[in-house]
Amino acid sequence: MCGIVGYAGPASTGRSSVLEGGAGPDSGGEALAAVLEGLRRLEYRGYDSAGVALVTGGEDGSERSLSTTKRAGRLARLVEALDAEPLPASSTAIGHTRWATHGGPTDANAHPHTSADGRLAVIHNGIIENYATLKADLQAEGVEFASQTDTEVTAHLLGRAAAAALAEVGADGGPADAGEALAEAMRRVCRELEGAFTLLAVHVDAPGVVVGARRNSPLVVGLGEGANYLGSDVAAFIGRTRSALELGQDQVVRITADDVVVTTFDGAPVTPRAFSVDWDAAAAEKGGYDWYMDKEIHEQPKAVADTLLGRTDASGALVLDELRMDTAVLRRTDKIIVIACGTSAYAGHVAKYAVEHWCRIPVEVELASEFRYRDPVLTERTLVVAISQSGESMDVVMAVRHAREQGAKVLAICNTQGSTIPREADAALYTHAGPEVAVASTKAFLAQITACYLLGLFLAQLRGNMFADEVRTVLRQLHAMPEAVQTVLDRTEEVRELARELVDAKSVLFLGRHVGFPVALEGALKLKELAYLHAEGFAAGELKHGPIALVEEGQPVFVIVPSPDSRDSLHAKVVSNAQEVRARGARTIVIAEDGDDAVLGSADLVIRVPRVPTLMAPLVTVVPLQVFAMEVASAKGLDVDQPRNLAKSVTVE
């Protein structure tokens, strides 16, 4: 939720803005260019309003001031406004793209918010839980509020605290300079705040300085040459630097063009962990596709291949050194609980089938938002696997904390370096899907399944549940998957046509069994979030226990048919399920393996996927469902990458 960017560096570097058709270097100089570039890359975090604040003036004795522009609507509206009224060049800027919580998406509620004296601007991600009390106190003192946001209290509190700290600069025991005064003000205010927040602030009297703070909400630092950056995640600055610092919980950071200083909220110095970002900027561009989602769907073979890369030794055995978890912990694990949300939870659901089969350890899959409220039974022998693309979903963060407090070990499967979940977990296994910009998750899902499978095989290898050659066989199967996924991608025309035909459908059902069940749930989720269509996924065996009543003439039903090689006549049972709904008037769209002719009698349309081992099937069967949802949304004229009401990184509970 909400994208946050900060820049401190030269006012002009001669490089031009990457923003096509607007807000070029004539407006706001390098600071604005850097911040808008970051916001464009972070727009997936929230897109109902956007704004920037720059500290401008001061050269040749001109008066310094704060220049703020903000607009409700997409980032493009802000860029139009900046084009119409260019801002002076600046070396200090902050920018924000909002996902509204307190107060609707209006110009007034857009960030930045300014202090009463107009000298400080602040942007915020998260929720200030005690804002109502703070606001009432401020109002009682005569402070007037210009917005309905919780954020505005921080602008007023910081404005006052900064004025006081700036007045103490140079005094005995006072801050050493204006930048330190602003940092001190931030620390004072943060100690008063409750809830989740990332805050960035600039002040007219602290030119060249951006101060940030974080509690339960993400913030990373980008280290450039002669310029430094702050961002909600590394995507904010990957066009400029890949060198980054992780910030911990309850820390304040002050950046200038050539310095980064981090402290706790109490002022104790902190040495942050440095890391190098392995995403490149091109990966976060559309690369000729109409939608990021389309591009990301097409990147799935690479996402799987990259997640497998470097995880076997010369003998072909699986090595997961990066886990850095005591193998004794993994050996004694007697239960695994997967915690995740949305698509990531479905990846965990798929993994359950494989991990239980390979390791003989019971696996529970729990929605992270429900986990801690049911008082789960956790012991030091429980391994909690937290799956998250962003590494920031607050529901998962809170579940991770709960699990650790209860003595369980937590292993994070995550796609985003420098994010909170792997940092707070006991161990981390990264997926290498690259930046996922479209709000709907696609390539991360395939990469998560791949990483979960690696973990499952590693456990089986370590605990002796599988022989080395069995592990190698499955690894070979996994290594063959990028090609199989590519085959599906090469055949999407039929599903695209179907989507255009079904554009007016009122409801679509998805049926699957075994690993096909979470795929059915994922297919339905994609369609809901992108095409705003009623869609439900069911375990095909549950059909007769109720959902079949939904079926009426013409009802589109996707049926994910398992391989004819599956155990326990699963294939025949799902084919029967397809027949049952078809007999009641459903239009069945059957996803089946090449050569599986047994489905022909129960299908109105067969979408073919290559023949792969049963446990690998989700990696291919989900792809037509992703394409279908994208294409229905596109045919309806909807914004595929930024569906209504959603944000990619859900950093509030």
Sole binder of ligand F6R in the list 529, 536, 593, 631 (CB under 6 A): 529
Q: H-type helices in 584-638, by residue range?
A: 617-635
Pick the closer one to ligand F6R by CB: 1 or 574. 1
Report d(CA 408, CA 338) in Å as an integer: 12
The verdict on 343 binding ligand F6R (CB under 6 A) reads yes
The verdict on 623 binding ligand F6R (CB under 6 A) reads no
Q: Could you tell me the strand order of the sheet in which 507-512 lies?
A: 534-539, 507-512, 556-560, 587-593, 605-609
The verdict on 651 binding ligand F6R (CB under 6 A) reads no
Q: Which of 297, 233, 220 is nearest to 491 (CA)?
A: 297
First-residue to last-residue Cα distance in the chain: 11
Contact 343, 444 (CB under 8 A): yes
Sole binder of ligand F6R in the list 101, 115, 251, 344 (CB under 6 A): 344
Contact 441, 344 (CB under 8 A): yes
The verdict on 182 binding ligand F6R (CB under 6 A) reads no
The verdict on 626 binding ligand F6R (CB under 6 A) reads no
Q: Name the helix (H) or strand (E) containing 456.
A: helix 443-463
Give the other-Cβ count within 10 Å of 62's Cβ: 10
Task: Indicate which residues carry an active-site annotation.
Answer: 2, 648
Report d(CA 648, CA 441) in Å as an integer: 8
Task: Tell me which residue has tokens 């807000």.
Answer: 23
Residue type, 108: A
The distance of closest approach from Cβ of residue 451 to ligand F6R in the complex, given in angstroms and rounded to an integer, is 12
Q: H-type helices in 243-375, by residue range?
A: 292-298, 300-308, 327-332, 342-359, 368-371
Pick the closer one to ligand F6R by CB: 393 or 492. 393
The verdict on 642 binding ligand F6R (CB under 6 A) reads no
Binding mask 273-302 for ligand F6R (x = CB under 6 A): ------------------------------
| Segment interacting with ligand F6R, rule: CB under 6 A, options 200-208, 247-255, 281-289, 337-345 | 337-345
The verdict on 396 binding ligand F6R (CB under 6 A) reads yes
| C-alpha pair distances (Å), 357 with each of 154, 160, 573 | 52, 61, 21
The distance of closest approach from Cβ of residue 618 to ligand F6R in the complex, given in angstroms and rounded to an integer, is 15
The packing angle between helices 29-42 and 75-84, to 10°, is 160
Pick the closer one to ligand F6R by CB: 232 or 388. 388
Binding mask 351-370 for ligand F6R (x = CB under 6 A): --------------------
Contact 2, 233 (CB under 8 A): no
The distance of closest approach from Cβ of residue 421 to ligand F6R in the complex, given in angstroms and rounded to an integer, is 8
| Segment interacting with ligand F6R, rule: CB under 6 A, options 66-74, 103-111, 263-271, 342-350 | 342-350
Q: Tell which positions 375-394 bind ligand F6R, by CB under 6 A.
A: 388-390, 393
Pick the closer one to ligand F6R by CB: 341 or 400. 341
Q: Which of 336, 536, 621 is nearest to 455 (CA)?
A: 336
The distance of closest approach from Cβ of residue 631 to ligand F6R in the complex, given in angstroms and rounded to an integer, is 16
Q: Give residue 258's Cα distance to chain centre.
A: 30
Residue 13: Cβ-neighbour burial (10 angstroms; 0-12, 13-18, 19+): middle
The verdict on 37 binding ligand F6R (CB under 6 A) reads no
Pick the closer one to ligand F6R by CB: 300 or 344. 344
| Segment interacting with ligand F6R, rule: CB under 6 A, options 25-33, 125-133, 339-347, 451-459 | 339-347
| Segment interacting with ligand F6R, rule: CB under 6 A, options 335-343, 461-469, 507-515, 604-612 | 335-343
Sole binder of ligand F6R in the list 52, 196, 559, 650 (CB under 6 A): 650
Pick the closer one to ligand F6R by CB: 228 or 388. 388
Pick the closer one to ligand F6R by CB: 218 or 564. 218
| Segment interacting with ligand F6R, rule: CB under 6 A, options 338-346, 467-475, 549-557, 619-627 | 338-346
Supply angle C-alpha 105, 108, 109, rounded to 5.
Answer: 45
The distance of closest approach from Cβ of residue 352 to ligand F6R in the complex, given in angstroms and rounded to an integer, is 17
Q: Residues 6 or more apart from 19 whose CB is under 8 A from it? A: 33, 36, 37, 40, 79
The verdict on 341 binding ligand F6R (CB under 6 A) reads yes
Pick the closer one to ligand F6R by CB: 344 or 566. 344
Q: Name the helix (H) or strand (E) containing 522.
A: helix 516-531
Residue 169: Cβ-neighbour burial (10 angstroms; 0-12, 13-18, 19+): middle
The verdict on 621 binding ligand F6R (CB under 6 A) reads no
Q: Three-state secondary structure along 188-215?
A: HHHHHCCEEEEEEEEECCCCCCEEEEEE
Pick the closer one to ligand F6R by CB: 296 or 580. 296
The distance of closest approach from Cβ of residue 359 to ligand F6R in the complex, given in angstroms and rounded to an integer, is 23
Q: Which residue is nearest to ligand F6R (CB)?
A: 342
C-alpha torsion sign, points 500, 501, 507, 509: negative
Number of residues that bind ligand F6R (CB under 6 A): 15
The verdict on 154 binding ligand F6R (CB under 6 A) reads no
Contact 387, 366 (CB under 8 A): no
Residue type, 85: E
The distance of closest approach from Cβ of residue 391 to ligand F6R in the complex, given in angstroms and rounded to an integer, is 7
Pick the closer one to ligand F6R by CB: 134 or 650. 650
C-alpha torsion sign, points 482, 487, 493, 494: negative
| C-alpha pair distances (Å), 2 with each of 45, 121, 154 | 5, 16, 16
477 φ, ψ (degrees, to nearest 5): -60, -40
The verdict on 232 binding ligand F6R (CB under 6 A) reads no
The verdict on 641 binding ligand F6R (CB under 6 A) reads no
The distance of closest approach from Cβ of residue 520 to ligand F6R in the complex, given in angstroms and rounded to an integer, is 15
Pick the closer one to ligand F6R by CB: 211 or 427. 427
Supply angle C-alpha 337, 345, 620, rounded to 5.
Answer: 120
Q: Which of 425, 601, 622, 404 is nearest to 510 (CA)?
A: 622
The distance of closest approach from Cβ of residue 389 to ligand F6R in the complex, given in angstroms and rounded to an integer, is 3
Pick the closer one to ligand F6R by CB: 343 or 492. 343
The distance of closest approach from Cβ of residue 367 to ligand F6R in the complex, given in angstroms and rounded to an integer, is 10
The distance of closest approach from Cβ of residue 388 to ligand F6R in the complex, given in angstroms and rounded to an integer, is 3
Sole binder of ligand F6R in the list 397, 408, 440, 508 (CB under 6 A): 440
The distance of closest approach from Cβ of residue 204 to ligand F6R in the complex, given in angstroms and rounded to an integer, is 37
The verdict on 217 binding ligand F6R (CB under 6 A) reads no
Chain residues that interact with ligand F6R, rule: CB under 6 A: 341-344, 388-390, 393, 396, 440-441, 525, 529, 649-650
